[in-house]
Amino acid sequence: MDDILHGLNKAQREVVTSEASVLQVLAPPGSGKTKTLTSRVAYLIAFKHLKPWNIVTCTFTKKAANEMKERIRSFIGEELSKQIKLGTFHSIAGQYLRKYGQHIGLAKDFGVADTSDSKAIIKRIIKKHDLTSEAPKASGRISANKCKGIESAQFAQTAKNVDQQEFAVIFSEYEAELKASNLLDYDDLLLRCCFLMRTHPQCVSNVEAVLIDEFQDTNTVQYDLMSLFAQQRNMITIVGDPDQSIYGFRHAEIKNLKLMKDQWRDTLTINLEENYRSSGAILHAAQTVIEQDESRPPKKLQATHNYGLRPVLRKLPSAAAEAAWLVAEIKRMCALSGGVLQHSDFAILLRSAALSRVIEAALGRDGMPYRMVGGLKFFERVEVKLVVDYLRVINQPNHGEAVERIINLPPRRIGDATVKSLREEASKRDMSFWDLICGIAQGKTRSTTKLNAPAEKGLASFVNVILSGRRKLEVAEDEQISLVGLINLVAKKIDLQTYLKNKYENEYEAKWSNVEELMAQAADASDPERLKALMEEDTLPAVDDLDQRSTGNEDALSIFLANIALTATAETKTEEGTEPVPQVTISTIHSAKGLEWPVVFLPACYEGSIPHSRSDDNDEERRLLYVGMTRAQAMLYLSCPIKDTQKQETTMSSFLTQPGVQLYFEEHGPSMSLATAKGLATTLRREQPNLSGFNEGKQGLDRDEDNYWPLNGEEAPEERAKWDYGKAANPVAAFGASRPASWVPASAVTTQQQQGFSTASAMMSAGLGTVKDDFNAAYDDLLEKDRLKAIDKKRLEATKNSDTDVPKGRKRQIEGQGSISTFFAKRRPPSMKAESSGEHFTMPLATHTSRSDPLRDISNLDRRQLSDPLPSKPALAGLHKPRIAPLRRAPSSHAALPNKGYMFLSSSPQKPEDEENDPEPISEEPDPEDEVAQPQFKPASTFHTTSLQTLQQQPAARGRRYGVKPSINGWANRARK
DNA sequence: CTTCGAGTGCTTTTT
DNA sequence: GCACTCGAAG
């Protein structure tokens, strides 16, 4: 008893030991919801003597299910815990249907139609009838109806207007299609299971207790499912939090909470109120956001931690800058936390998965390890899906969807028209698609569809692949081919490697490694031990009066496939023997639910993103933000780019611009002192940092304050200088060389430079003033910006009040620390050294880190060079249009990119070996004042131009490489102004 | 009839 | 940046 109740507060104990039969637990974020629920399960088994296999526990995500399993195991041990019926609604429903499906006329071995299957079917129906509906909308509508328990026939009867009738057609044909292919979609799993339990209550007669996690996310069908599970004993415990209801789109009904109270009048409600996760400051901020919802009943939420650091609400110039800032902050926090924080302590949570691209690029550029959860799932990647579809068809050839998807992959000269004709013929003859083509290929069936010779050959080869796969399975069990063997067979038969190589060229390696990963997973799944465990887990307790379908002889393939559709994340296993590298997590807010991290970033907090433009429930969007914010333990960063990815101006999220909200936020990341680091450690209950670790971290940093970007969201001065005089001017110059050896010799450059210059002067006179003037103005501006941002916060606020007092423009005075000296490198940028010795100083520009900022190390330049005129941007920008190397998704797989027609940018923090041992600091670090006094310094010859041809001659260097899109926006923006 | 290239438009969240 | 459509060539 003590074990189970240990560490629980009063309210939690009350929940765990409650005698009430129906129990609602309202558990706000961080209140120990999962802990409480798992403790109750353990308690019921240990003290109420319930049998584990008579306890049903439903979660929404596989992740939550696994976590709960893990925790229960630590309470009651492996043996008991694995007997509990614990899983997602869908997986539990699936289990019941597999065992008892025959009683409701469900064929054995039904498949699960995933979203793309459903979408494909609907699309086809729409096309067939030449309807105007859109597939995704129709799909959502079908799901909405199903979730409410409305069936297609029922809908068709009530359909009145044209639109409804049209939809009724899609709906019923969709259902028919699924039935014909022996498929159930996600909703069907739940619906059919409800039907089963209603018509055959015996099958759940053993259930003694039902527990539901995240109850606020249940939809009507799931609610029914819960009631039906509990129909014998009415012993139910649910935990939930209306404030965290973020699945309205999946037709979750918050009102189920009330419904439940009405259905079971003696429902006991217990509120958990203490938050054990977040610092007070974070909690306050989150609270002000959620309290904007006036319809929401007020709720208490008590912090148990210290106040901690105030959350940050940061403005940045662009999505790219936001990403760069975020990376810089992670670095800074890591370095200055004195060892308290590492990469795995950071999470970046997004409203939509698509936002991750810029961020992944920034992380990749920096070489910071990360993992992306949510977004595209492993089993949804084309190459994986391809193989899985083959397996599906081999396992179950009547899976019409899968057959059609792969019949011409790799290309077999069987086009859409042929497929369509075949499909129609099949339905006319009332046979399955597979049976038809199989018959044709074997010459048994005479087809009315005329096939040309190549198509016929293609068809035969396809059928052959499938049949040979099936043959391997039909032999006696002990001779049966392994799952991996089967995948290999398929891969060989369809010559997958060649296909992938041809189709994806430079992505080939990544794609193939995914296939290998699939094999590894297959090997894992067909491991006899594991298989046994899986089968055991799949057992349902025998009940009187109702036969279970024997699944004893179910093969590894079926089990593997059945699990795929219901597996949320195929956890990429860490390589054996290697320490897992701490990784930053990128996730959607939705899939971050229930999780927590010491530091959380919520980027893209603008109108249209959160609240999302496609959402019609603002309150749900607000709750979503709330969920995101409350994932943070010690530090929370919100940020808003002034321009979104499409360079449209944004408005900050209305949830954050409500009066008073901003009082809870700082405008920039915290100054990190040893004391701050200690505070973090306290909040996180971690070991205190020591001074030496702190100092060490500080030394490795370029800057120790969040002061690179101005607080008002404007472009960083250094960045502007780069844009105006570097990157924008010359896309080809955006070639950063990390190894001088492979650099273009200066002589090769000269012609291009001169070319550029000559055009430049002509262009420049067209109304933009001289380059010189332009530069001076910008430079002054830049100094001013830097001065402003260097002033500490208080002063800034003081000046803000009398805003206009701050002279704009030409103030050269430098105050305080953090002044211009931050512009100059403490050490020579590596690539500069080799080049600056020659006749021409050719400094590669446009690495995005400040490491090679053109303004750095300015004192080191040959000053005669500096008086050269500047080339103009448009002149150079128009010269070449380099191809863009695709960004690689996972930084883990860096195949060498082709060495033709690509440009590379490489700014790896890991310097190449040859520079590694060159910490030689520049002796004459310039005195800031001095520099300012010499306005003739212009980064004119920090230009380096070269042609595409020259680049093509470069050998593809090794190392981390990212294609970089040259931007001429810098120029375009300026020109407009 | 199939394939391939160019051009267009859009882009929530999950089982 | 990607998925999808459309039109032209094989």
pLDDT for A271-306, tens place per residue? 999 999 999 999 999 999 999 999 999 888 899 999
pLDDT at A939 (0 to 100): 28
C-beta separation of A617 from A581 below 8 A: no
* A869 assigned ligand-binding residue: no
Q: How far, in Å, are A1, A26, A34, A917 from residue A15 at the CA level? A: 14, 10, 12, 61
How many CA atoms are closer than 13 Å to the CA of A773, on its beta-carbon side? 6
The separation between CA A971 and the C-alpha centre of its own chain, rounded to angstroms, equals 32
Express each pLDDT in A502-511 by its tens digit: 887 777 877 8
Angle (CA) A317-A336-A319 rounded to 5° is 15
pLDDT above 80 (res A120): yes
Question: What is the distance between the alpha carbons of residues A383 and A763, in angstroms, rounded to a whole number?
Answer: 50
Q: What percent of chain A has pLDDT over 70?
A: 71
CA of A894 to C1' of B10 (A): 30
* Dihedral (CA of A642, A643, A649, A650) sign: negative
A81 CA → B13 C1’, Å = 32
- Between residue 380 and residue 409 of chain A, the positions with Cβ below 7 Å from nucleic chain B are 408
A152 appears as a binding residue in the annotation: no
Any strand C atom closer than 7 Å to A541 CB: no
Model confidence pLDDT, tens digit, residues A516-570 = 888 888 887 777 777 777 677 777 888 877 888 765 556 778 878 877 777 644 4
* Separation between Cα atoms, residue A928 and residue A855, nearest integer Å: 12
The bridge status of strand A22-26 relative to strand A55-59 is unpaired
Tokens of A596: 């927590």
Confidence check: pLDDT of A217 > 90:
yes
Residue A6, pLDDT score: 87
Strands (E) located in A773-895: none
> Which residue gives the smallest C-alpha to C1' distance to B11?
A354
Q: First vs last Cα of chain A: how many Å apart?
A: 72
Nearest of A804, A796, A515 to residue A668 by alpha carbon: A796
Whether the per-residue pLDDT at A694 is higher than 80: the answer is yes
* CA of A123: nucleotide with nearest C1': C4
d(CA A390, CA A465): 9
What are the pLDDT digits (tens) for A304-339?
Answer: 999 999 999 999 988 889 999 999 999 999 999 999
- Stated in angstroms, how far is A219 CA from B14 C1'? 13
- Give per-residue pLDDT as tens, A708-743: 999 988 888 877 776 555 443 333 333 332 222 222
Spanning CA of A707 to C1' of B6, the rounded length in angstroms is 45
CA–CA distance, A469 with A145 (Å, rounded to integer):
39
The nucleotide lying nearest A565 (C-alpha to C1') is B15
Query: A28 among the known binding-site residues?
Result: yes
A614-667 pLDDT, tens digit each? 888 899 999 999 999 999 999 999 999 988 777 778 889 999 999 989 999 999
Q: Apex CA A46: angle with CA A40 and CA A52, to 5°?
A: 80
Residues 700-739 of A with CB under 7 A from strand B: none
Residues 406-425 of A with CB under 7 A from strand B: 408, 411-419, 421
Kindly report, residue by residue over A86-97, the tens digit of the pLDDT: 999 999 999 999
How many angstroms separate the CA of A410 from the C1' of C7?
A: 23
Q: What is the structure's pLDDT at A379?
A: 81
Q: What is the DSSP string of A859-889?
A: GGS-HHHHTSPPPPHHHHHTT--PBPPPPPS
Copy the structure tokens of residue A750: 């000269």
Residue A541, annotated as binding a ligand: no
Q: Which residues 526-585 of A interface with strand B at a CB distance below 7 A?
A: 566, 568
pLDDT at A773 over 50: no
- Looking across all nucleic acid strands, the nucleotide with the smallest C1' to CA distance from residue A415 is B2
**Protein CA A758 to sugar C1' B12 (Å):** 51
Residue nearest to nucleotide B13 (CA to C1'): A590
Looking at residue A751, what is its pLDDT? 21
Band of the pLDDT at A342, cuts 50, 70, 90?
very high
User: What is the three-class DSSP state of A148?
Assistant: coil
DSSP string, A274-307: EE-SS-HHHHHHHHHHHTT-TTSPP---EE-S--
Q: Which nucleotide is nearest to A884 (CA to C1')?
A: C1
- For A413, residues 6+ apart whose C-beta sits below 8 A from its C-beta are A452, A454, A455, A457, A458
What's the Å distance between residue A653 CA and nucleotide B12 C1'?
16
Nucleotide nearest to A964 (CA to C1'): C1
Say yes or no: Cβ of A884 under 7 A from any atom of strand C.
yes
What three-state secondary structure class fits A748?
helix
For residue A529, the tally of other CB atoms under 10 A from its CB is 7
Q: Which residues of A412-440 are buried (b: 16+ CB within 10 A; e: fewer)?
A: bebeeebbeebbebbbeeeebbbebbbbb
Query: A853, A722 in Cβ contact below 8 A?
Result: yes
Provide the 3-class DSSP secondary structure of residue A238. Answer: strand
More confident site: A452 or A8: A8
Report helix, strand and coil shares of chain A as percent, to nearest 5.
50, 10, 40
Summarised one tens digit per residue, pLDDT across range A908-948 is 333 333 333 333 333 333 333 333 333 322 222 222 222 22
Q: State how far the Cα of A645 lies from the Cα of A363, in Å rounded to an integer.
A: 17
Query: From the Cβ of A886, is strand C under 7 Å away?
Result: yes
Nucleotides of B under 7 A from a protein CB: 1-4, 11-15
pLDDT at A164: 86
pLDDT of residue A892 exceeding 50, the answer is no
Compute the residue count for chain A: 977
pLDDT score, position A820: 23
d(CA A24, CA A18): 11
The nucleotide minimizing the C1' distance to residue A887's CA is C1
Distance A614 CA to B13 C1' (A): 11
Closest nucleotide C1' to the C-alpha of A609:
B12
H-assigned helices in A684-736: 691-699, 717-722
A717, two tokens: 């001065």
> Angle, nearest 10°, between helix axes A496-504 and A483-493?
60
The arithmetic mean of pLDDT across residues A662-680, rounded, is 94
CA distance A209 to A216: 19
Q: Which pLDDT does position A722 carry in this prediction?
A: 64
Q: CB-side exposure of A941: number of CA atoms within 13 Å?
A: 25
A30 is in an annotated binding site: yes
Residues A573-605 as b or e (16 or more Cβ within 10 Å = b): eeeeeeeeeebbbbbbbbbbbbbbbbbbbbbbb
**A308 labeled binding residue:** no
- Closest C-alpha among A46, A108, A30, A134 to residue A549: A108
Question: Quick one: tokens of A729?
Answer: 């001017």
State the pairing for strand pair A55-59/A85-88: parallel
> What's the CA A151/C1' C6 distance, rounded, in angstroms?
38
Tracing tokens 């070319």 back to the chain, one arrives at: A755
Distance between CA atoms of residues A211 and A539, nearest Å: 19
Phi, psi of A59 (to 5 degrees): -125, 180
What pLDDT was estimated at residue A410? 84
User: Average pLDDT in the A244-262 region?
Assistant: 93
CA of A791 to C1' of B12 (A): 41
Residue pair A598/A636 in contact by the 8 Å Cβ criterion: no
Q: Mean pLDDT, to the nearest integer, of A203-221?
A: 95
Lowest mean pLDDT among A438-442, A600-604, A663-667, A843-847: A843-847
Q: Straight-line distance from CA A430 to C1' B2, in Å?
A: 28
Taking the C1' atom of every nucleotide in all shown strands and the CA of A413, the nearest one is B2
Mean pLDDT computed over A819-846: 26
Cβ–Cβ contacts within 10 Å for residue A765, how many?
12
Mean pLDDT for all residues in chain A: 73
**Nearest nucleotide (C1') to the CA of residue A449?**
B1
pLDDT at A381: 81
Q: What residues does A475 pair with on adjacent strands?
A: none
Taking the C-alpha atoms of residue A676 and residue A630, their distance in angstroms, rounded to an integer, is 21
Alpha-helical segments (H) within A47-114: 62-81, 89-100
CA of A557, C1' of C5: distance in angstroms: 37
